[in-house]
Amino acid sequence: MARNASRVSKHDSAGCIRIPIKEHLCIVNRIRQNSMKTKRLTTGADDIKEAGGIIRDGGLVAFPTETVYGLGANALDALAVRSVYAAKGRPSDNPMIVHIAMAEELEPLVLNGRESISLDALKLIGNLWPGPLTMVFPKSAIVPDTVTGGLDTVAIRMPSNETARALILAANRPIAAPSANLSGKPSPTTADDVLEDMDGRIDAVIMGEQCDVGIESTVVDMTGEVPVILRPGIITKEWMEAILGKEVRYHQSLLERPETELDPEEIIGNEDATRNAAGEDATRNAAGENTADAAGNSGSSEADTAGNSGSSAAD
């Protein structure tokens, strides 16, 4: 059940919600016991408004994007984000992507705002957002460490899916959202896939359309001089190079993998890979192992082949 406003204490100045820790532990226990009632919401305006309210109140809502279904929480609410880890059974050092609906939402999430958003990043934003491209920036103080798995960078994406965008606008908050599957299971591309894993564990699912792309977004690190692809996806290295007029690199760990794993056609064409193709979970088939990311980036699990410092296995 959504935590309604009357049971939630008030927002602070950053829009974060303060929930008494006892209440939070109770919610986490209910997630563990699968004892929540998961609402089925439509993509209609009233239901999207309700979904936005659930997110604002610290609840969890699964929603379609053009890549896979995401499991969304208020990205500025550390406790809500912690509930995402509980619902997925996901290791809490695995950083999440923060979803925004408008370019103006980017600056407050990035350290020193505009200063840390390079000309290259602006070009990619101008050409490829909204769309399946996630960019990594130094994070500002309003982004809780729970979102980034303790990293000082944050991954941000602006989805093109209309339902996703409407939800972010209705919540009036950036939404942190990994794929809406149990950790170790394939990333879902339909609302029914989501319910298979998440019924009873989250507040609501928006029963939207099948996802178009079916593979997760390309993740590119924009914190250095040269953009570095941390996870390959539908937006290719060559595509970004054409926009930027300069070299884009793959993370070292990707270069050690078979070339086919960098090719979106191959990822999509791999029927075995997931319920319909891809993403991190698909990678475990394509790669023949149970890894979370093709690229890895900034996490710390043993399955993280990218090897910088963060992402975990099989999420």
Query: Which residues bind to Mg ion, rule: CB under 5 A?
Result: 179, 187, 280, 315
Span from 1-9, 43-51, 114-122, 153-161 in contact with ligand AMP (CB under 6 A): 153-161
Residues with Cβ < 8 Å from 25, sequence gap 6 or more?
Answer: none
Closest distance to ligand AMP from the beta carbon of 49 (Å): 25
Site for ligand AMP in 162-221 (CB under 6 A): 178-179, 216, 219
- The binding track of 78-97 with respect to ligand AMP, each residue x by CB under 6 A or -, is -----------------xxx
End-to-end C-alpha distance for the chain, whole angstroms: 24
Stretch that binds ligand AMP, among 12-20, 56-64, 121-129, 148-156 (CB under 6 A): 148-156
Strands 218-221 and 204-206: unpaired
Does 124 bind ligand AMP (CB under 6 A)? Our answer is no
Is residue 177 within 8 A of residue 97, CB to CB? The reply is yes
Distance CA 130, CA 126 (A): 9
Residue 195 interacts, among Mg ion, ligand AMP, none and using kind-specific CB cut-offs from 5 to 8 Å, with none
Measured CA to CA, the distance from residue 260 to residue 262 in angstroms comes to: 5
Residue 204 corresponds to which tokens in the numbers above?
């609501």
Distances in whole angstroms, Cα of residue 220 to Cα of each of 49, 57, 123, 194, 236: 32, 31, 13, 27, 10
Number of residues that bind ligand AMP (CB under 6 A): 23
Q: Considering CB distances under 5 to 8 angstroms, the limit depending on partner class, which of ligand AMP, Mg ion, none binds residue 121? A: none
Q: Does 283 bind ligand AMP (CB under 6 A)?
A: no
Least separation in angstroms between residue 243's CB and Mg ion is: 27
Among 146, 276, 300, 311, binds ligand AMP (CB under 6 A): 311
Strand-pairing partners, residue 61, are 72, 204
Measured from the CB atom, the residue of 179 and 297 that comes closer to Mg ion is 179
Establish whether the linkage from the previous residue to 130 is cis, with ω within 30° of 0: yes
Give the torsion sign (CA, 65, 67, 71, 75): negative
Cα 310–Cα 312–Cα 315 angle in degrees, nearest 5: 135
Nearer residue to Mg ion within complex by CB, 197 or 315 = 315
- Give the shortest CB-111-to-Mg ion separation in angstroms: 26
DSSP 146: H
- Give whichever of 153 and 190 is closer to ligand AMP, judged by the CB atom: 153
Looking at residues 284 to 303 of the shown chain, list those that interact with ligand AMP (rule: CB under 6 A): 293, 297-299
Query: Min. distance of Cβ 15 from Mg ion in angstroms?
Result: 26
CB of 286 to ligand AMP, least distance (A): 15
Cα dihedral 261, 267, 270, 273, rounded to 10, equals 90
| Interaction site with ligand AMP (CB under 6 A) | 95-97, 136, 148, 151, 153-155, 178-179, 216, 219, 230-231, 280, 293, 297-299, 310-311, 315
